[in-house]
Amino acid sequence: MQNVEIYTKPTCGFCHMAKRILTSRGVSFAETNITAQPEKRAEMIQRANGSSTVPQIFIGGQHIGGCDDLMALDRQGKLDALLSA
């Protein structure tokens, strides 16, 4: 199982949706709340190639994108393979 990281804010509906998708797959993830840890926001933007919106999701160190990107991978049947790679 790949290491999964997600940068979030508590008020973000897309963050909650992305976490629900991952949790429904039985995937544990490391969550970084950039509201509680504002110093991590710059790290997120740098790792996400300039993307400043949340969530920003990384699987096995690879930047996946946001919730829409995660859902697209799921619809294409690629999410499970990526998680188990």
Question: What pLDDT shows up at residue 85?
Answer: 79
Query: What is the CATH number for 57?
Result: 3.40.30.10
Provide the residue-wise pLDDT of the chain in tens; the chain has 85 residues.
789 999 999 999 999 999 999 999 999 999 999 999 999 999 999 999 999 999 999 999 999 999 999 999 999 999 999 998 7
Question: What pLDDT shows up at residue 2?
Answer: 85
Return the C-alpha torsion angle 21, 80, 26, 28, nearest 10: -80
Domain that holds residue 22: 4-84
Peptide bond connecting 38 to the previous residue in cis, omega within 30 degrees of 0: no
- Say how many domains are in the chain: 1
Residue 49 to residue 82: CA distance in whole angstroms: 20
Q: Answer whether 0.75 is exceeded by the pTM.
A: yes
